[in-house]
Amino acid sequence: MRWDAQAISPRRGPALGDNSVSVPSGAAPASDALLPLVGLVRSVSTPEFSGVTFHEVTAKSVLNKVASGSQMPFEWTINPYRGCSHACVYCFARKSHTYLEFDAGHDFDSQVIVKINAAEVLRKELSKPAWGHHHVALGTNTDPYQRAEGRYQLMPGIIRALAESGTPFSVLTKGTLLSRDIPLLKHASSQVSVDVGISLAMTDESLAAVIEPGTPAPRARLRLILRLRDAGLSCGVMAMPILPWLTDSDDALESLFAALSAAGATGVTAGALYLRPGTREWFMQWLSAHHPALVEKYKGLYGRGAYVSDEYKTWLTGRIKYFKARHGFTGSSGFSHRRATARKEAAVAHPTAGQAKLF
């Protein structure tokens, strides 16, 4: 098989747990295919995914408990991939790649960890008596429908495992590959609560091509929203990030909200760009190459750190409110991974739910 023939470093190591990703000291350079990742089976590159290396690992666990005290609106996550070939310059998750001793820039886009046994491990974790059937969020750190999913097909097994165990879940993606799983998601939604969200914050195709270079084009994501709605599934939209001076004009917001409304989005959550460390450096480098006139403006707007100024935030909130109302999104909650709550029936069926930690 062509894929197998192109394996470049067959290796074996102990299994990888979501919370136990580590690289021994003295690691090889970040982009080196011989990087000694824990659980690494092999590293693979192939012409079909030019410029991307997949590091196939066996995971010890895939259900990840978000640290207590986190501001995130979810408590349990699954990330079958680490790193993301969608390569959004503004991706807030970039810094997480440095925990693997990859860099937060090009390595995040091109060195993708694949938990090849994700579905199998998940089934075991979900079958434990201590599992509380909490809501599980997918697409919180990297995109589960990034291009690699076309090859590895991890999501069907994950969806089946969640639904058959009675575990509600949500999926957020930019990947139109999700359309492959619409029948499966539809079936899952008859078993558990399923929330599907599409990430789309601009309709400018030429800007998207340079700032989200690995993603399906905005119009393709609009068609995906239509398909989800035609299938009878709700589909919220995460319209983040809105980019100051690039996608925040009245024309840009009108185009975005009109398109989302026409596609049948059931709600929109929108907000400004967030520039945490790791992302900030990569984004500012991109900005100086593509929009040098905006560099000083951004430095002023983000002068106090990761967030926009209060004045800008207030202004943008007002504009978003106006365009949401104009296109009928009043009262709709938009998309958000919901905070984990055990389903009532699950609590009955599993009386230990919520009383024990999985790890």
Catalog residues that contact ligand SF4 under the rule CB under 6 A. 84, 86-88, 91, 93, 142-143, 174
CB closer to ligand SF4, 30 vs 347: 30
CB closer to ligand SF4, 143 vs 181: 143
Q: Which two tokens stand for residue 282?
A: 């990569």
CB closer to ligand SF4, 221 vs 327: 221
**Sign, CA torsion 22/41/80/218:** positive
How far is 196 from 184, CA to CA, in rounded Å? 12
CB closer to ligand SF4, 111 vs 165: 111
What is the side-by-side strand order in the sheet with 169-173?
Answer: 64-65, 76-78, 136-138, 169-173, 194-199, 236-242, 267-272
Query: What's the closest the beta carbon of residue 61 comes to ligand SF4, in angstroms?
Result: 21
Query: What's the closest the beta carbon of residue 330 comes to ligand SF4, in angstroms?
Result: 27
Q: Is 280 within 8 Å of 306 (Cβ atoms)? A: yes
Q: Is 171 within 8 Å of 146 (Cβ atoms)? A: no
CB closer to ligand SF4, 88 vs 192: 88
How far is 241 from 88, CA to CA, in rounded Å? 11
CB closer to ligand SF4, 161 vs 211: 211
How far is 197 from 336, CA to CA, in rounded Å? 8
Please give the DSSP secondary-structure letter assigned to residue 136.
E
Query: What's the closest the beta carbon of residue 202 comes to ligand SF4, in angstroms?
Result: 13
Query: What's the closest the beta carbon of residue 172 comes to ligand SF4, in angstroms?
Result: 8
Nearest to 175 by CA among 200, 156, 152, 157: 200
Query: What's the closest the beta carbon of residue 221 comes to ligand SF4, in angstroms?
Result: 11
Query: What's the closest the beta carbon of residue 91 comes to ligand SF4, in angstroms?
Result: 3
Query: What's the closest the beta carbon of residue 108 comes to ligand SF4, in angstroms?
Result: 7
CB closer to ligand SF4, 147 vs 343: 147
Contacts of 209 (CB under 8 A, 6+ apart): 217
